[in-house]
Amino acid sequence: MAELTISNVRKTFDAVVALAGANITVHDGEFLTLLGPSGCGKTTLLRIIAGITEQDTGEVSIGEQRIDHLPPERRNIGMVFQSYALFPHMTVRGNLAFGLRMRGVNRSEIERRVGEVLELVDLAGLANRFPKQLSGGQQQRVALARALVIEPEVLLLDEPLSNLDAKLRESLREDLRDLQRQLGTTSIYVTHDQAEAMALADRIVVMNFGHVVEVGAPVTLYRQPKYRFTAEFLGNTNVIETQARGGVLELPWGERRASRGLRDGKVTLSVRPEDIQLEPHADDGNAIVEAVTFLGSLVQYQVRVAETQLRIQTAGKGVEILKVNDRVKAVLPETPHILAEDAPQQASMSVVEK
């Protein structure tokens, strides 16, 4: 059972709070992604789990066993670095064998397991090459294979795809997901790329300024984010400030919606660009097209409704591509998603920033 528990882990660098007491449980076999902008503490957390960085306070456990006092070599955790960190003076085979040698595995067993993992990551022909003789994608796979060959209880991945070009990144992303499912290794993946996080993760931990903002499945976090930070960080969204009064929601452009069960006061909506309907050539059009961006699979519009700018997205073969200054009608979904007040830690953000 390789369940990883992180409790109250805190870390400061001089006066800067890198982690303000993180509490996360990663279930056995789960693929968890730490997502957030640079400097949010996600890599620090990963390094604390690996034992490379020491936490100020807090506990890290695998199953029932506390590991936060152990040196990295005694944690049985595999780590893939953003820079790959391959041993430049060793061949691919030497790189993969290293961890097994350190564990005192015998020669024939090393040979067998290295061979197996090379097959697994599709590098069988390159065993005798040196890292510098490999492409970026191949180096990445060696780094992954090196972390997997020791059969770690937990696999940590620190932005492993960020140095690759977009196409390769996508294909390796899928390979990585398949591999993790196949092996069932409990994995934590750090990224600032929300698409990567959504494509890979069973659950996403959204982080900002050393705080865990929200944890949830990709679909939940995308469709029903609790906080504005999550809504804006995961994909694009329209954040619309409205007023609720006597069971009626007043949209900024004067439109009124019945809304049951809302207390009077400020209500913040998050509406995804693809959830707003765009009716072209509407006689009762309420909006003007201000900008059009054709992105192949979809078309992005910037539309103005009274004083409010909205991002709208349409897709599909039959969809008409509108022109700037076209009069259109923008229709919000029946029950738009309502955001909670900003999380308390978001309010303290500015303090941490200083």
Partner 1 sequence: MRRKRLVLPLLLFPGGGYLLVFFGVPLFLAVMGGFGLYNIAGDNSFTLEHYRKLLVVREFRDGLILTLYLAFTSTGLGLVVSVPLAAMLQLNFVGKKAFNAIYKVPLVVPSVVAAFLVLTFIDRGGMTSRALALVNIDMPKMVRDRWAIGVLIAMTWKSIPFMTLIIGGSMAGISKDVLHAARTLGARPLTVFLRMQIPLALPGITAATLLTFIGAMGAFVVPNLLGPVYPLPLSVHMYDNAFEFNEWGLVSAMGTIITLVSTAVLLTYYRLTRGAQRAFQAGH
b vs e for 119-144, b when ≥16 Cβ sit within 10 Å of the residue's Cβ? Answer: ebbebeebbeebbeebeebbbbbbbb
Nearer to partner 1, 22 or 154 (CB): 154
Contacts of residue 29, defined as CB under 8 A and 6 or more positions apart, other chains included, come to 2, 184, 185, 186
* Token reading at 262: 């809302």
Q: 157 forms bridges with which residues in the sheet?
A: 80, 189
Please name the amino acid found at residue 154. V
Q: 127 forms bridges with which residues in the sheet?
A: none
DSSP 124: G
Instruction: Give the interface segment with partner 1, choosing from 61-69, 78-86, 316-324, 340-348 (CB under 8 A).
Output: 78-86
Sequence-ordered strand ranges (E) for the chain: 4-13, 16-26, 31-35, 57-62, 65-66, 77-80, 154-158, 186-191, 203-208, 211-216, 238-245, 248-250, 256-258, 265-271, 277-280, 287-294, 298-305, 308-315, 327-331, 337-339
Contacts of residue 184, defined as CB under 8 A and 6 or more positions apart, other chains included, come to 29
Please name the amino acid found at residue 133. Q
H helix runs in the chain, sequence order: 42-50, 92-102, 107-120, 136-148, 166-183, 194-200, 218-223, 228-233, 344-347, 349-353
Angle value at C-alpha 122, between 121 and 124, nearest 5 degrees = 115
Nearer to partner 1, 22 or 96 (CB): 96
The one among 8, 57, 83, 133 contacting partner 1 by CB under 8 A: 83
Please name the amino acid found at residue 264. D
> Nearest distance from residue 104's CB to partner 1, in Å?
9
The one among 3, 7, 25, 52 contacting partner 1 by CB under 8 A: 52
The one among 22, 31, 42, 81 contacting partner 1 by CB under 8 A: 81
Q: From CA 310, how far away is CA 330, in angstroms rounded?
A: 9
The phi, psi pair for 346, rounded to 5°, reads: -65, -35
115 binds partner 1 (CB under 8 A): no
Q: Are 325 and 280 in contact (CB under 8 A)?
A: no
> Nearest distance from residue 40's CB to partner 1, in Å?
20
Instruction: Count residues binding partner 1 (CB under 8 A).
Output: 34
Instruction: Give the interface segment with partner 1, choosing from 1-9, 95-103, 286-294, 328-336 (CB under 8 A).
Output: 95-103
Site string for partner 1, 116-155 (x = CB under 8 A): --------------x---------------xx--x-----
Q: Are 185 and 177 in contact (CB under 8 A)?
A: no
91 binds partner 1 (CB under 8 A): yes
42 binds partner 1 (CB under 8 A): no
Instruction: Give the interface segment with partner 1, choosing from 11-19, 98-106, 301-309, 320-328 (CB under 8 A).
Output: 98-106
Q: Are 228 and 268 in contact (CB under 8 A)?
A: yes
The one among 9, 45, 97, 213 contacting partner 1 by CB under 8 A: 97
54 binds partner 1 (CB under 8 A): no
Q: Per CB under 8 A, which of residues 182..241 are in contact with partner 1? A: none
Site string for partner 1, 291-330 (x = CB under 8 A): ----------------------------------------
Nearer to partner 1, 133 or 243 (CB): 133
The one among 38, 89, 284, 354 contacting partner 1 by CB under 8 A: 89
Nearer to partner 1, 101 or 181 (CB): 101
The one among 36, 41, 78, 273 contacting partner 1 by CB under 8 A: 78
2 binds partner 1 (CB under 8 A): no
> Nearest distance from residue 212's CB to partner 1, in Å?
24
The one among 4, 18, 67, 79 contacting partner 1 by CB under 8 A: 79
The one among 39, 58, 94, 115 contacting partner 1 by CB under 8 A: 94
Residues that bind partner 1 (CB under 8 A): 50-52, 71-73, 75, 77-79, 81-91, 93-95, 97-99, 101-103, 130, 146-147, 150
